[in-house]
Structure 1
């Protein structure tokens, strides 16, 4: 609550720009975090999913830069404290010892928390863009929302068909 008191939202556009800046920071942080997840993953399928999502995340950063261009705003980051917290929890998994398949299950859990946060953020930003009549921007945000949802589905599939199965027999 205190954080909102330091900002000024006079228009829906003010809120929208703040949300996009927050997402931009979150994606920038992820481009640095995902390589550590790739390195920590033992499952080849999980490692591959993280590598694929890193490429998508880099594309999402570029897409957000296009959003900034379309709204005639300099690409800027608003510190995303939520992502910082999610990544901090993920670091705990990266620093953990234990059975590799259980660690992979923990990596999936941490990654899915991130995906769900991103889906909420992109859904909100897309809805605000539509309300503001920014249809091209809304379409770009929807593309990323679709990618985040697909990444979450892929992680669920990997968990249910291999990683969690292996972790349960450890």
Structure 2
């Protein structure tokens, strides 16, 4: 009697697991037409605009930087940003869509803040460098939030290749943020405070 009960229980859990897998598969197949998928694509368009416009802004920030270490870090991030644009285009391709940008109001504001720091500070000033680091880190934190969220949405929809691409970019954004902190704490902030 106990054996039959165990068999039934095991059989029910197998049926339940099969039903769950089938349900997940159905959900993933329906995703391209869902509001959730539309949210993902809208956010992808947003970060695409942000990254494309950031490439230009980073060039201006690099020219305005006094610290050679900071200027080099900005150039490196600019090169990474170009790669981020290419990766986003790969994700659009995976989704069967042509790359399309949607104006990112947040990035536009962050870029404007960077320009304001350049306009409001003296050339060859560590204070300018400190301000540029603050602006660059605000940008990094925005990108970290965007890529982390996009990765989570892609994973939830079963787009594992896209999730992996987004994770790679997220890791690079976090590394850049850490590098900027290191530059600020090792020299720039001290020099700026002494001016």
Question: TM-score normalised by the shorter chain: which range applies?
Answer: over 0.9
Task: Work out the CA distance in 2 between the residues paired with 1:63 and 1:94.
Answer: 30
Equivalent position of 2:185 in the other structure: 160
Specify which structure has the higher proportion of helix: 2
Task: Work out the CA distance in 2 between the residues paired with 1:109 and 1:77.
Answer: 26
The structural deviation recorded for 1:79 is: 0.7
2:91 matches 1:76: no
The structural deviation recorded for 1:97 is: 2.8
Task: Work out the CA distance in 2 between the residues paired with 1:72 and 1:126.
Answer: 18
Q: Could you say which structure has the greater relative contact order, defined with CA pairs below 8 angstroms and 6 or more residues apart?
A: 1
Where does 1:16-165 land on structure 2 (aligned, <5 Å)? 16-98=40-122, 100-165=125-190
Residue by residue over 1:51-77, the C-alpha shift from the partner in whole angstroms, topping out at 9 and shown as x without a partner, is 000000000000000011111111000
The structural deviation recorded for 1:10 is: 5.0
Match of 2:158, SS? coil
| Higher Cα Rg, which structure | 2
TM-score, normalising length from structure 1?
0.93
Equivalent position of 2:35 in the other structure: 11
Task: Work out the CA distance in 2 between the residues paired with 1:107 and 1:89.
Answer: 9
Residue by residue over 1:30-85, the C-alpha shift from the partner in whole angstroms, topping out at 9 and shown as x without a partner, is 01100000100000000000000000000000000001111111100011000001
Task: Work out the CA distance in 1 between the residues paired with 2:77 and 2:121.
Answer: 25
Task: Work out the CA distance in 1 between the residues paired with 2:57 and 2:83.
Answer: 15
Displaced runs of 4 or more, over 2 A: none
Unaligned runs of 5+ in 2: 1-32
Task: Work out the CA distance in 1 between the residues paired with 2:90 and 2:190.
Answer: 41
Alpha-carbon RMSD across the aligned residues, in angstroms, is: 1.2
Equivalenced residue count is 162
Unaligned runs of 5+ in 1: 1-8
